[in-house]
Amino acid sequence: MLDVTRFPKMPHDQLRGLEHVSVPLYEFIHAHSQVTAGLHATIGAVNSWWIQHFTGATWEVHGLESIRSLTAPRGLVLVSNHRSFFDMYVISTVVNKRTDLLRRVAYPVRSRFFYDHPAGALLNLAVSGGAMWPPVFRDDRRRLLNPIGWQQVVHTMTPGTGIGIHPEGTRGKGADPYEFLPLKPGLGQLVEALHPDTWVLPTFIAGLSNDLSVEVRRARQPLGQRGEPVRIRFAPPVRVGAVQALRLDAAETTAHIMAMVRTQAEVDRQERLANPSVL
């Protein structure tokens, strides 16, 4: 586990173009809890409200009882499969609205566009309140900069803080919602660095499209006419210390946690097969 007593910064000489502005800006935001609290109490609260208000009628939530009494003194890591642009927003909204575990959350996002293009950097601040952070680099700098990003996350993980991660790295676009893409090791790298008292919440989600207008319209339909429900299945949470004790490498740790997501996917598959009327 890393001992992060001061918020680490990404080396300025490793940044390129607009990153010289966007990266330090979002580092400042997340290094100061008062700033992030203010953004999440305003932009974040508005996002949670409209996501629940306009799409909540289609939600079908399972396993919430396993986390209602959970205390997470060093924060919560939300881990899920990835099928829709809105997967993690819905998952974090459910946890935020139905438990006391989550008051602010961040979502690692690719650096390209969100950190190297003016529209992406502004969109991050205006739409998510800077929650699309830290940047994940996929070029030749990734071995140096991405570990610093995880160290920054460790620094912010306090009670009520969450980080949402899709270990697949990108959305699965195939017809089968139960088919996962190859995993990236980033989750395992983060788990290696986290405090043992951090908790991980593996989650399977399905039934959510990439068209928000479609989701809003079908949620407003009468019961029985809304189509496929959005299923959110929470696995029992696991303490980071228990995973660290297994002494797995980063790729193995990622696979170990995603196996719990796959278990929930199989439960969903079997329930859907047993009830063909809701397929």
pLDDT at res. 223: 87
pLDDT tens, residue by residue, 143-154: 999 999 999 999
Of 43, 253, 242, the closest CA to residue 127 belongs to 43
Q: Give the count of beta carbons closer than 10 Å to the beta carbon of residue 79.
A: 26
Average pLDDT score over residue span 216-230? 92
pLDDT tens, residue by residue, 93-102: 999 999 999 9
pLDDT at res. 275: 83
Average pLDDT score over residue span 125-143? 95
Across the chain, mean pLDDT equals 94
Q: Give the count of beta carbons closer than 10 Å to the beta carbon of residue 145.
A: 20
- Burial label for 149, CB within 10 Å (0-12, 13-18, 19+), is buried
Diameter of the chain measured on Cα atoms: 58
Residue pair 208/89 in contact (Cβ under 8 Å)? The answer is no
For the chain, the domains span 12-278
Task: Give the pTM.
Answer: 0.94
**Distances in whole angstroms, Cα of residue 76 to Cα of each of 19, 34, 162, 170:** 28, 19, 5, 21
Percent of the chain past pLDDT 90, that is, above it, reads 92
Say whether domain 12-278 belongs to CATH 3.40.1130: yes
Percent of the chain past pLDDT 70, that is, above it, reads 97
pLDDT at res. 5: 63
Rounded CA gap, 153 and 163, in Å? Answer: 8
DSSP letter for 233, please.
E
pLDDT at res. 6: 84
pLDDT at res. 224: 87
Average pLDDT score over residue span 243-268? 98
Confidence class of residue 277 from pLDDT cuts 50, 70 and 90? low
Residue pair 57/227 in contact (Cβ under 8 Å)? The answer is no
pLDDT at res. 1: 45
pLDDT tens, residue by residue, 142-191: 999 999 999 999 999 999 999 999 999 999 999 999 999 999 999 999 99
pLDDT at residue 4 greater than cutoff 60: no
